[in-house]
Structure 1
Amino acid sequence: MQPFLTRSQFGSLCAICAAFLFSTKAIFIKQAYALSPNVDATVLMALRMGSALPFFLLISWFSRKSYSGIDWKDWLQLTAAGLLGYYFASWLDFKGLMYISASLERIILFLYPTLTVIASSVIFRQRLSLQTLFAIALSYGGTVIVMLQEQSNTPHEGSFWLGASLVFASAVAFAAYLLMTPKLIIKFGSWHYNGLALSIACLGTLAHFTFAIPQPLQLVAALPLSVWGYGIALGFFVTVLPTILMMQSIARLGAAQSAMIASIGPILTILLAVAFLDEHLNAIQWFGCLLNIAGVLMITLSKKKLAG
């Protein structure tokens, strides 16, 4: 009896579902911000990572293995990677969403593959090909088009540029995390690495919340149940579940093909923002968005060819 889905079809389905769930992040964050004046990036991040922590601890436990050949430097790098990629980068992203639209946030964040290529070129002293330079120009040109269109309709210009800068800094931090990841995955194993790195990020987020917010327990207890609902949804449906789905996809399709499927993410976020946040993109902004996606896809495809 043949399986209902082939290995590659199941991997593709996992990547599509992960892209959709990741795309809801900005929508949930924006809606949570609108519900209570006491909700900011630090509070919402604490709800998200606090609800995700038990799942990542379980993943770490059940995927554990012998630590022979792993020294204190590897543990230090793992800790730095977890804090950088899923605590600091996420906090910057949550903070930036206080000032800019969900659509623009997703477009700016989608630049991270270009940042890894640029950083790798600098670190390994490799010249970028004309095709890669053209792809980078497309991505950033499209992003600037969308930004300028939104900025012209924003009453508080300073807040807009602050938000855009915070989200771009988030993309830089996540790109740096990705550069640290391959070596650590070889050392710890993909499942164990992700479980440990995300557990560390959760603990860092909760420590930040505890020290940054006066009377944190009282504040959390006073939050509306709807805010709790969004926090838990961000923890499980936007963090734990899509992370597992994407790992399943990568195991069956490879990282490059999974990333190509995930490139539908910005389009999904924009459509969700139109449906649930009453955001609107004009024709020029849609054109800029498509340029951004085309440039990132060109870079992803070139990576796949190099890997092959």
Structure 2
Amino acid sequence: MSSSFTKSQRQTAFVWAIFGALFFSTKAILAKLMYREGADAIDVLTLRMIFSLPFFVLIGLWARRTQPYAMTRSDYGQVFVVGLFGYYLASLFDFMGLEYISVGLERLILFLTPSLVLIMSKFVLKKNIDVKQWLAMLLAYVGIVLVFVHEVSFSGSNVPLGSALVFASAASYATYLLMTGELVKRLGAMRLVAYAMAVSTVLCVLNYVVVRLPHELVEQNMTVYGYSLLNAVLCTVAPVVLTMMAVARLGSSIVSQISMVGPLATVGLGYVFLGEPITPTQLAGTSLVMVGIFLVGRVATK
């Protein structure tokens, strides 16, 4: 895929991919800072979607002009389901889980998404999984268990609940990835993401209205609003755009390997901005997860 681009263009795409991974990793940091200001998972998610919606509306309009395609009723139904699983449920479970676990463990659990896609493909699409991939996935999950046990000793009894919620987020996003194969070919990646984000925003607002009084969202302090704007622009819109542009020049397999900088960056950011400890056990578990997922992707690519 990258053969039609110059070396300089591919190097630029490499930088895009790195910043996309770094920006996306910052999402958990900002969420934790908002929790300290009195917001909770539903506040964080709703404000994030509301602030990012205008950008994705513009992206959707641009994508529709550059890739004209008349959507069918079936397409609209699929976009709704994709928005439900890919950005609403996945994000809701993720932010709820972050209330109980560190940003480092959260990022590692989400990093298991490729392995979940592989496992779902085995049982849903009846695709074969290489023995080497099973071993690589086992390595990754051993790393998760190592970090999990380490965190339980530091953070207490709520770690299992938080981990389960974030794992549900990863499973929901893996479901979204499995569902988008044919749809993304018809609509294009940017258009699909924009439409799915719009669906997710509507669901988030409806969810908020059901469980909260609308004025509670308006009454958040300005610090929460500032973090929400950063969460929307820096950690939601920018990573999507940068990653898509990088994939166009480098290919998805290379960009997915570059994104492995994310978990390490999250651990470092958690230490700097949140004071979360970095221990040898945590680094060992993180290394096992990253190596395992890298090997899963490498075998799949071959």
Question: What TM-score do you get using the length of structure 1 for normalisation?
Answer: 0.93
Query: What's 1:251 paired with?
Result: 248
Residue 72 of structure 2 corresponds to 71
C-alpha offsets along residues 63-113 of structure 1, whole Å, 9 cap, x if unaligned? Answer: 114434x42122111110012111110010000000111111111111000
1:120 match: 121
Look up the match of 1:20.
22
Q: Is the 8 A contact 1:100 1:163 kept in 2?
A: yes
CA–CA distance in 2 between the matches of 1:182 and 1:95? 28
RMSD: 1.5
Q: Which residue of 2 aligns with 1:135?
A: 136
Whole-Å separation in 2 of the counterparts to 1:222 and 1:74: 38
Decide whether the 8 Å contact of 1:256 with 1:303 is kept in 2: no
Distance 1:112 1:241 in 2: 21
Matches within 5 A, 1:138-287: 138-155=139-156, 157=157, 159-213=158-212, 215-216=213-214, 218-287=215-284
1 CA distance for matches of 2:28 and 2:134?
Answer: 29
CA distance in 1, matches of 2:277, 2:174: 29
Q: Which amino acid aligns with 1:301?
A: R
Counterpart of 2:81 in 1: which secondary structure?
A: helix
Counterpart residue number, 1:42: 42
CA–CA separation in structure 2 for the residues paired with 1:62 and 1:285: 43
User: Which residue, 2, 5, 8 being the options, matches 1:6?
Assistant: 8
Task: Give the distance between the partners of 1:226 and 1:245, measured in 2 at CA.
Answer: 27
Structure 2 length-normalised TM: 0.95
AA aligned opposite 2:174: A
Identity %, equivalent residues: 35
In structure 1, how many angstroms separate the alpha carbons of the residues matched to 2:68 and 2:22?
35
Deviation per CA, 1:162-221, whole angstroms, max 9, x where unpaired? 1110000000000110111121111111221121111111221122112221x21x2122
Structure 1 outlier segments of 4+, above 6 Å: none
Structure 2 Cα separation of the partners of residues 43 and 201 of structure 1: 14
Name the count of aligned residue pairs: 296
Q: Which amino acid aligns with 1:176?
A: T
Asked if 1:57 corresponds to 2:57, the answer is yes
Which residue pairs with 2:292 in the alignment?
295
AA at the equivalent of 2:83: G
CA contact under 8 A between 1:19 and 1:265: conserved in structure 2? yes
**Residue deviations 1:19-66, cap 9 Å, x none?**
110011111000110012xx1111111110000001111111111144
Residues in 1 aligned to 2:268 and 2:6: alpha-carbon distance in whole angstroms:
30
Q: Report the Cα distance in structure 2 between the residues aligned to 1:220 and 1:123, rounded to whole angstroms.
A: 40
- Paired residue secondary structure (1:126): coil
Q: How far did 1:9 drift?
A: 0.7
